[in-house]
Amino acid sequence: MKCWGDNYNGQLGDGTTTSRDLPVISSDISGAIGLSVGGSNTCAVLSNRSIKCRGANNYGQLGNGTTTNSVTAVLVSGISNAWTVSVGNNFACAFLQDSTIKCWGDNSYGQLGDGTTTQRLTPVTVSGISNASQVSAGVNHTCALVNSNDVKCWGDNSIGQLGDGTTTQRNTPVAVSGAMAVSNIYAYEYSTCAKLTDSSVKCWGNNELGQLGDGTVNNSSIPVSVSALGTSVSQLSRGHGKPCALLNDFKTVKCWGSNTKLGDGTYAYQIAPVTVAGISSAVQVAQDEYGTCVLISDGTIKCWGLNGNGNLGDGTSLRRNTPTNVSGISTALNISLGYHFGCAVITGGTVKCWGDNMFNNLGDGTFIQRSTPVFVSGISSATQVVAGFFNACVLLSDTTVKCWGYNLDGQVGDGTTAQKATAVSVIGLTGVTQLSAMGSTVCALLNDTTVKCWGDNSGGQLGDGTTTDRSTPVSVVGLTNVTQVMVGNNAVCALINNQTVKCWGANTNGQLGDGTVINRLTPTLVVGLADVTQINSGITNFCALLTNQTAKCWGNNSYGQLGNGNIISSSVPVLRLNQNNLVSLGTGSYNDGLCVINSSGNVLCTGGNYYGQTGYNEMTIRTVNGL
């Protein structure tokens, strides 16, 4: 086996947690005859019919009786007669040689099919299934082919993905409505498709992006025909992506649904500003890789983009191309987004977070993913919150700082590299007036106008003249008179009180703005920039708001995020086009887009829009008529 891509949980099997752009050998598995890949796990059926899995295990999805993550494959307990395995979101199911199905892992929606919603660390038998011939796992639901050509499904049914004519969650299998002679079943994210014996296709469940292929965007809790395919399908695609079909000529492929990656040559990123729909009173913008959130003047929060980890906070895992309200927050003071999670300071000084929680990044003492906000434990006097990659920090009213979450690079600042499930104090830090974080680096502006940073220093972004990681704060060399600090990915910039900007750290995309691509271990002046009132950061770019209410940006521009009408990166500041009367810049994070707020309270965004994160609903819905 060879694997590539995201490897934060060790799911690639090369013994590391380093993501890979090219295939690497999975040295921990040999003799594999079947394979399934989920969001953070990989499972394989071996030639002896046992199953091994690796990666994240916070829900017991490795099936070995523990909740310990593993970068090497571990044996799933009690299975020695598997035909196939299918990995969902934090759970997995196996089709066995005795025609039964066993599942393990997260069971919040009844997706294990054992009649409960109890998490299982080892496999349990799906109730009432004794004649299965296939199993397929979606995000939080599962379907099986039974009795040769019938279909039964169980688990989450909020969008009708079980196909029984209802939206009622099912903890045990229910029959899909209508007579169908099915040859193969495929569970996708929040929908399901079946290839019939006559080579036609029917689908049911979520259809907001046309993924049912019936020419509409109406959800359906019963099967509907993908009409444009007729009876010409040889094979349907597997996995959690949008459906694609190989036709009987074995050379034609047709796809339908969201136009994020349909292979038709478009993915709708924006190189000139577009206005986010339905927002007219924004006061703060925050962004992560998959989405954007806006703090509204009335204290509510609206978010949009991809939502697989509940990172939009609306109680669902549905993608939103236009803003949706974060549940239960009406008095927020400021917001920050990390990697697949968000946090907000609430009036009174408490903090709430939502989304992914794999590394305790929500600070509630658990590993439980939350699609609605929960309180961070032990915080009652916060004035600002900032989120890094899998960690977060708060500035308290006494000018000290507390942090929690992932800590491998010392980004929690307590002198250790041990992960923290709840907030702990940053050592030796007082007099803080502002915080900024991204990745595994945190910086603090002090009341003496100097800056201290801690955590990852691989690009020299701590500014102490070294590339040594620090688990307690160190001073940035030669930097005073600072009025704002902003951390990017392995680079940091500071606004100086004479309205110039200095930056330091990694510079491979020209993100230090000094006209070069040379890394700097101490601050360097951004060239040709004056009259600056505010700065912000993207992944590998920065922007400055000027006194004339325009903005200039520099660094990576591969998705048009600099907003100057092209996709050419720049090592010196360039003017954002068609953006005047600006009052605020978004606080950036892992996002290929950048947003600003104008004097009317409108939000204008540029850059990558492949998950709808610019909030502009241009991501063309492809129904069958658009194939």
Name the least confident of 256-270, 509-523, 550-564. Answer: 256-270
Within 47-107, strands assigned E span 51-55, 70-75, 82-87, 91-96, 101-105
The predicted structure's pLDDT at residue 256: 72
Six-digit token string for 480: 């005073």
User: Is residue 368, in this structure, part of any structural domain at all?
Assistant: yes
Q: What is the b/e burial string over 404-422, where b = at least 16 CB atoms within 10 angstroms of the residue's CB?
A: bbbbbbbbbbbeeeebbbb
- Count structural domains, the chain: 2
What was the pLDDT predicted at 357?
A: 95
**In sequence order, what are the residues at sequence separation of 6 or more whose Cβ sits closer than 8 angstroms to the Cβ of residue 36?**
42, 43, 44, 84, 85, 86, 87, 92, 137
- Exposure string over 265-279, b if 16+ CB within 10 A, otherwise e: eebbbbbebbbbeeb
Which tokens hold the place of 15? 């013994």
135, containing H or E segment: strand 132-137
Taking Cα atoms as reference points, which of 219, 231, 229, 223 lies closest to residue 185?
A: 223
Which residue among 130, 148, 177 closes a domain? 130
Read off the pLDDT band of 532 (50, 70, 90): very high
Give the pLDDT mean for 428-450: 96
The CATH number for 278's domain is 2.130.10.30
Mean of the per-residue pLDDT values of the chain: 87
Residue 306 lies in a domain: yes
User: Going along 356-427, which residue ranges are E strands?
Assistant: 370-375, 382-387, 391-396, 401-405, 420-425
Parent domain of 555: 270-624
- 380 versus 249: which is more confidently predicted? 380
Mean pLDDT score, 381-393: 95
- pLDDT of residue 95 exceeding 90, the answer is yes
Name the band, by pLDDT with cuts 50, 70 and 90, for residue 564. confident
Evaluate whether residue 418 is within a structural domain: yes
Cite the beta strand spans of 482-592 per DSSP E. Answer: 482-487, 491-496, 501-505, 520-525, 532-537, 541-546, 551-555, 570-575, 582-585
- Judged on CB neighbours under 10 Å (0-12, 13-18, 19+), 165 is middle
Q: 37-78, pLDDT tens digit by residue?
A: 887 889 999 999 999 999 999 999 999 999 999 999 999 999
Percent of the chain with pLDDT over 70: 90
CA distance 126 to 108: 15
Average pLDDT over residues 421-430: 97
Is 280 part of any domain? Answer: yes
Confidence at 603, pLDDT banded by 50, 70, 90: confident
Residue 617 reports pLDDT greater than 80: no
- First vs last Cα of the chain: how many Å apart? 34
Can you give the pLDDT at residue 251? 56
Question: Which of 130, 161, 186 is where one domain is finished?
Answer: 130
Is 108 within 8 Å of 61 (Cβ atoms)? no
Confidence tier at 499 by pLDDT (50, 70, 90): very high
546 and 398 assigned to the same domain: yes
Mean pLDDT of 367-385: 96
Is residue 176 in some structural domain? Answer: no
Asked whether residue 227 is domain-assigned, the answer is no
Q: Of 225, 307, 387, 332, whose CA–CA distance to 611 is shortest?
A: 307
Q: Which residues, including other chains, have CB under 8 Å from residue 78's CB and lie 6 or more apart?
A: 122, 123
Q: What is the pLDDT of residue 116?
A: 96
Last residue of a domain, one of 79, 96, 130: 130
433 part of a folded domain: yes
Looking at the domain assignment, is residue 217 inside a domain? Answer: no
